[in-house]
Chains A and B, each alone.
Chain A
C-alpha cells in the first residue's frame, strides 16, 4: 500500500498521481491533513496502535506495517472549530484569548500529525515532512556553497543600510523572509509576492524597520521554473519580462494573456550544482526558481519542497504525474535503495 499525504484544496496533482498508481496496479490511500479533524472520526491507541479512521461512513485501518511507501505531497490542518466563533466578545482581552486557543489547537494538531508521521518511519518516503519546511536564508547560504549564484541579499532593520544597498544595486526588490502568504480579507486575497521598491517608498520608511528582506533586482531575460524529482530535473522557461504585470514576479499571473512558456534544458554545470544543493538539503522533490539574466548568468532564487509541478508538467509535456507514480512504485517495491525505474 502507498499512502499519499495531501490536503483537500489548492492541490492540483494528487489525484492524477493516484490514477497513475492505479494504472501501475498499486493500491494507494489518500489522507488529507484536514481528515484528522475537520471531516472524519478516528482513534489510535498508543503505543503501537494502528489508526482507525472513518471518512464518509467508510472505516479504514491505517496499519504502519501495511504501508510500504509514503508520498508527502502537502499537509494542511483542518479544525472543526474553524467555522465557529470561539469566544463571544470582541474585546481586546478576549480576542487575545481566542488567538491563544487557536494557537493551542494548531499545536495539538501538529503534534498529532507528527505522531502519525513517526509511526510510518520505516516506510520509504518521497520527501519527509521534517525537511519540507525550509528557511529561505539558509537555502541561499547552501545554494552559494553548492556553487550557484544567488542575488545580493540584505536583511535589515536599519533604513540607512537599506539606502546604501539601493545606491549599490540601483534597483531592489523585497519579499517575505519566510513563505509568502495570501491574506484573506473580504472578497479579496492580499498577496505578498516579490515587489520592486523605489526611492520614494524608502523615503517614507521609519529609521527602524521590522526585519525585512531585500535583494538586488535582476535584469531578466526570462525566469526558469524547474522541478527536481529524485535526481531528475525538468525545467521550463517563462517569458515574464515582457509583461509589466509579471515582470518582477511571474506569480502576478496574467490570466488574460498568460506568459509564454517553453521546455528548457539547463546547462549541465548548473544542473549539477542544483543536484548538489538538493542533496545538501536532503530533498528528493522541489520546485526551483531561477533567473537567466540579460548578461547571461543563471541566478538561483529559491526552492519550494512541496511546490506545484503541474504548471511545468502540462505545458512542457513532461508527464511528471506519471513519473512521480513510477518513483513511488519503485520505493514501494524496493525501499529507498536506488533501482532503475
Chain B
C-alpha cells in the first residue's frame, strides 16, 4: 500500500501555523494493518459486533443462535 501523506502535510500553509503542535507528529496507520477485526453476530438485544484484538478471548455464546 502506498504511504499516504501525513495529515499535517496536506494542511494549507495557513492552517499549519494554526493547529496544535501535536498535529506535526500525527502518524498514519493503515486501517488494513490494524489487528484483525471480528464481527460477531450477537444476540439482537446486545451488540451488532465488536473488535477482537489479538489477546481477546472470543465469547462462544455470542455466536450462538437466539434462544426461543
- B56 x A12 contact (CB < 8 A): yes
How many chain B residues touch A (CB < 8 A): the figure is: 42
- A15 x B46 contact (CB < 8 A): yes
- B57 x A183 contact (CB < 8 A): no
Indicate whether A8 sits within 8 Å of B47 (C-beta atoms), given known contacts A193-B27, A314-B56: yes
In the docked arrangement, what's the CA distance between A193 and B30, Å? 15
- B50 x A191 contact (CB < 8 A): no
A258 located at the interface, meaning its Cβ lies under 8 Å from any Cβ of chain B in the complex = yes
A12 is contacted by which of B24, B29, B50, B62 (Cβ under 8 Å)?
B50
Total residue contacts A-B, CB cutoff 8 A: 131
- A19 x B22 contact (CB < 8 A): no
- B52 x A188 contact (CB < 8 A): no
Chain A residues lying within 8 Å of B34, measured Cβ to Cβ, are: 189, 255
Chain B residues lying within 8 Å of A190, measured Cβ to Cβ, are: 6-7, 26-29
Indicate whether A188 sits within 8 Å of B30 (C-beta atoms), given known contacts A15-B46, A310-B56: yes
- A211 x B20 contact (CB < 8 A): yes
- A30 x B25 contact (CB < 8 A): no
Chain A residues lying within 8 Å of B62, measured Cβ to Cβ, are: 15
A9 located at the interface, meaning its Cβ lies under 8 Å from any Cβ of chain B in the complex = yes
Q: How far is the CB of B16 from chain A (nearest CB, A)?
A: 9
Chain A residues lying within 8 Å of B25, measured Cβ to Cβ, are: 174, 192, 195-197
How many chain A residues touch B (CB < 8 A): the figure is: 54
- A55 x B44 contact (CB < 8 A): yes
A176 located at the interface, meaning its Cβ lies under 8 Å from any Cβ of chain B in the complex = yes
- A185 x B50 contact (CB < 8 A): no
Q: How far is the CB of A156 from chain B (nearest CB, A)?
A: 10
Chain B residues lying within 8 Å of A39, measured Cβ to Cβ, are: 48
A42-50, A135-143, A144-152, A202-210: which lies at the B interface? A202-210
The B39-56 residues at the A interface (CB cut-off 8 A) are: 40, 42, 44-56
A210 is contacted by which of B6, B20, B50 (Cβ under 8 Å)?
B20
In the docked arrangement, what's the CA distance between A175 and B21, Å? 8
Chain B residues lying within 8 Å of A311, measured Cβ to Cβ, are: 53, 55
Q: How far is the CB of B54 from chain A (nearest CB, A)?
A: 7
A252 located at the interface, meaning its Cβ lies under 8 Å from any Cβ of chain B in the complex = yes
A186 located at the interface, meaning its Cβ lies under 8 Å from any Cβ of chain B in the complex = yes
A187 located at the interface, meaning its Cβ lies under 8 Å from any Cβ of chain B in the complex = yes
A92 located at the interface, meaning its Cβ lies under 8 Å from any Cβ of chain B in the complex = no
Indicate whether A188 sits within 8 Å of B29 (C-beta atoms), given known contacts A15-B42, A175-B22, A210-B19: yes
In the docked arrangement, what's the CA distance between A29 and B44, Å? 11
- A9 x B1 contact (CB < 8 A): no
A11 is contacted by which of B18, B23, B47, B54 (Cβ under 8 Å)?
B47
Which chain B residue lies CB-closest to A32?
B47
13 examples of A-B residue contacts, CB within 8 angstroms: A12-B56, A19-B59, A30-B46, A174-B22, A177-B20, A185-B28, A189-B29, A192-B22, A196-B25, A213-B22, A255-B33, A310-B56, A311-B53
Q: Footprint of A on B, CB under 8 Å?
A: 1, 4, 6-7, 17-35, 40, 42, 44-57, 59, 61-62
Query: 6 other contacts beyond A183-B26, A187-B32, with CB at 8 A cut-off?
Result: A15-B62, A16-B57, A162-B21, A174-B20, A175-B22, A197-B21
